[in-house]
Amino acid sequence: MLIQPPSAEEPSRNPRRERGLWHDGAQNMLSMGCTNCPERNVCGGLQLSKALFDCLGFCCRKPADCDKVCPNRPEAFARSVREVDGFLFDNVPRAAILAKPLLPSIVPVLYHGSKRVTPFRAPAVSLPLYGVIARHNGGNRFASAQELAEKFGFAGGASVVLTGTDTDAPLERWWSLGKGRREAIRALLALNISLVTTPNYSLFTDRPRWDDLHSMKRIAIVHEEFLSEGLPAALHLNARTERDWERWRAYISGRPEVTHVAFEFGTGAGWATRSPWHADQLKRLSLAAGRPLHLILRGGSKLLPELITAFAEITFLETSVFMKTKSRQRAVSVSPGTVKWCASPTEINEPVDSLLTENWKVVAASYAALFDRSVPPLQAVG
């Protein structure tokens, strides 16, 4: 099995409760109420092991306190539909095909520059999108690429990938910028950003399907906005059903401007009993595209061997090195392709620069072996 030290992205939800809400088109019957639903063509319907007449069974029946996209909130529902111009992808504007940035196979995610005094050196680094922009208006928090590097503690000259994966609050702040999103994107261009993964607007197993359709359309819209402003972007793929994946396949195969896609196995898709289904859908999407695609991946390192063979290129956003270093743990190479983590206490107020650098070297070397398709998967120890 692959090296997969615990990370901050591991699921915290209860799979036993959620398993009954997972769509399974091969095992379960279509919910009866889906048959005549006007959104059936877009949604495809739900097939759950849990008894459910239709997705309105997930309605909270408290419209005054609800923020979901649900027809039982008529005025808010109409606003949500209008703001994305319907749930179909057909009317998302086309964008130019941008030059593909050169990215390494593994990129460390740096969340901040605290407790470090020496610039971290790597060919590329990944930073949180929402840590780079101002919360109130989406403007730059940094005057230059150099100031950005100093704030996050990495050496200038590294390629920078912004990751749009986050909790709902920062995602909604980005969307709430409205027309100001394009101005915010232009500000990011001034920081020499190489690529951004689009905000991962969530799909939940216990919400009416209109909420899912709204999130998927928003993902497509913001991806086009990045491309149209000249900033390379990876289209984040969130999907709940086979029909959701079918729609993404059709969208991507018909739009050559989509050169990068992103996926995260760190939350619901990361469960051991669900991740193989998503991995299979990713492989089908790559094949259906009819052209090389570059996958930007967070989490799911156990699935890398099969995904490496399915995509032309993969960049793995690695979070463990930063989080383990923060917890004062050291990566130790036991044998080729084998890494374990050991406690490595530091003195009070001692910087962790050297520990971060050592951990990065060890983990990067281990993953390098994995990306050589001629060698067997890595082993996990401890």
| Contact partners, residue 154, CB within 8 Å, separation at least 6 | 110, 113, 119, 120, 121, 122, 125
Confidence of residue 27 (pLDDT cuts 50, 70, 90): confident
pLDDT value at residue 230: 98
- The amino acid present at 15, given as its one-letter code, is P
> What domains lie within the chain, and their CATH numbers?
19-83 (no CATH), 106-380 (3.20.20.105)
pTM of the entire structure? 0.90
Residue 341 DSSP one-character state:
E
pLDDT value at residue 10: 39
Residue 306 DSSP one-character state:
H
pLDDT value at residue 2: 35
Q: pLDDT digit string (tens) for 230-277?
A: 999 999 999 999 999 999 999 999 999 999 999 999 766 767 778 999
pLDDT value at residue 1: 29
Residue 377 DSSP one-character state:
P
Q: pLDDT digit string (tens) for 320-376?
A: 999 999 999 999 976 544 679 999 998 888 999 999 999 999 999 988 888 875 344
Nearest Cα neighbor of 214 from 67, 30, 334 is 67
Cβ neighbours of 371 (radius 10 Å): 16
Confidence of residue 31 (pLDDT cuts 50, 70, 90): very high
Q: What is the arithmetic mean of pLDDT over 177-195?
A: 94
Q: Give the sheet arrangement for strand 379-380, strand by strand.
A: 329-335, 338-343, 379-380
pLDDT value at residue 42: 96
Residue 71: C-alpha distances to residues 39, 60, 68, 127, 217 (Å): 12, 12, 9, 37, 17
pLDDT value at residue 120: 96
Q: pLDDT digit string (tens) for 291-318?
A: 999 999 998 888 988 999 999 999 999 9
pLDDT value at residue 136: 76
Q: What is the arithmetic mean of pLDDT over 97-120?
A: 95
Cβ neighbours of 307 (radius 10 Å): 20
Q: What is the arithmetic mean of pLDDT over 131-158?
A: 90
pLDDT value at residue 255: 97
List the beta strands (DSSP E) in 86-198: 106-108, 124-128, 159-163, 195-197
In sequence order, the β-bridge partners of residue 120 are: 154
What's the CA gap between 92 and 225, in Å, rounded? 10
Nearest Cα neighbor of 298 from 278, 280, 284, 312 is 278
Confidence of residue 378 (pLDDT cuts 50, 70, 90): very low
φ, ψ for residue 65, nearest 5 deg:
-110, 5
Cβ neighbours of 173 (radius 10 Å): 18
Pairing of strands 338-343, 329-335: antiparallel
Residue 109 DSSP one-character state:
B
Residue 64 DSSP one-character state:
G
How far is Cα of residue 292 from the mean position of the Cα atoms in its chain? 20
Q: pLDDT digit string (tens) for 200-217?
A: 998 988 999 999 999 999
